[in-house]
Amino acid sequence: MNSLQDLFSHNLCIRCTGRIFASVDTGLTDYERGLKLAFTYKAFFGHVEIPESCYICKGIFKNLGMYLNMAVDAISSMEYDTFLIGSKFDPDILLEEQKIQNKYGNKGESIKKEFNREFGKYFSEHTGKEFSKNPDILIEINTIYDSVNLIVRPLYIYGTYTKKRRDIPQTRWINGTGDSIESLIGEVLLKYSAGKNYKLHGSGREDVDVMMLGNGREFVIEIDEPVYRNINLNEFMDEVNGSGSGILISDLEFSDKDKIREIKEAAYDKVYMATLESDEEISREKLESTAMAFKNLVISQRTPVRVIGNRADLIRKKEIKYINIEDIHDKEATIKICSQSGTYIKELINGDNGRTVPSMSSMYGRELRVKSLDVIKIMR
């Protein structure tokens, strides 16, 4: 009983008193817990003065309407379906509250946690929006300065693209000039979403001079701070595809951050069509023998000279599934290659001065060069 008298000597309000024992029982609000404690005190010790607000909460739970209006004003232009409430409280207040709770067995919860929960319910009741742990928007209430900060989850759209050009990179150049697959898709989506910026995440990449044909390459386009989330994906797709840029997108769907990791970690075999050239007429017999030697062969590839500045200098083991001869004409030949994901196809053919072992050039016995290269299928 002395502890009960001591509890009310802190001159806390009903809610802050009840919050000291938030984990003791379920099914009650902190305010209801406080009422029960106050009733018990009165039953044994008589009347006690309990303030409407106290130095911990300062009556903040009476101001939910004010914070609602502030949040609604801040978010008024945004499209969103789900939300999460966060808050900032004076660290000195939180520390003082923790000291009191520690005194009584550390069985409570912080005012920050209760505020987030109670204001979240209040916000949902008045807006019809749903709470989510992975929300479209995090609404952070700064109770120190009575302000609102919005943290907007990026918009993620998954799809596949094909590229019928040999002069365009997948992502933007550092200086931001010139077309890229990223900019041709991202600029259109930026217009639809009114976002701040965009980034394309691809399931691997092809070289600037390599066309991406067939069933296309998977990608996720990410938009920072979108105002509009309910994009008409068909209209967006039609605008990109109708631009005459040589980039076509398909299979669009709304996605999330996890999809980026999924497509980047995917290890699909790929099928390529390559045109080779040599300084001399190509021998069908020697080229067919070379192609046969690579069936299910594991090669060693040291990071190519042409990309060493952007990649770690490593030796990678890659399996070549098959090489088929499609056509031979004088000093040129067309071949189809199926290989493990991550194989450097140009270096498989030219050898990269011995950094790829074996190479088609070393097997053939003469230098072979890539005249053109296309990805024609990704084996999903």
Positions annotated as catalytic residues are 207
Instruction: Return the residue matching tokens 């902190």.
Output: 30
Q: Is residue 177 packed enough to be buried (19+ CB in 10 Å), middle (13-18) or exposed (0-12)?
A: exposed
CA distance 269 to 87: 48
Which residues, other chains included, contact 99 with Cβ-Cβ below 8 Å and sequence gap of 6+? none
Spatial distance between the Cα atoms of 335 and 313, rounded to a whole number of angstroms:
29
* Strand 211-224 versus strand 369-379 pairing type: parallel
Number of helices (H), then strands (E), in the chain: 12, 14
**Pair 181, 168: CB distance under 8 Å:** yes
Type of residue at 14: I
Residue 68's closest CA among 130, 30, 118, 13? 118
DSSP 8-state secondary structure symbol assigned to residue 283? P
Separation CA 132–CA 331 (nearest Å): 63
CA–CA distance from 272 to each of 42, 197, 249 (Å)?
Answer: 84, 33, 20
Helices 64-75 and 111-127, axial angle in degrees (round to 10): 60
Sheet hosting strand 137-142, strand order edge to edge: 130-131, 82-88, 137-142, 147-152
Element (H, E) at 68: helix 64-75
Nearest CA among 351, 345, 344, 337 for reference residue 291: 337
Collapsed DSSP state (helix, strand, coil) of residue 96: helix
Distance in angstroms (rounded) separating the CA atoms of residues 74 and 80: 13
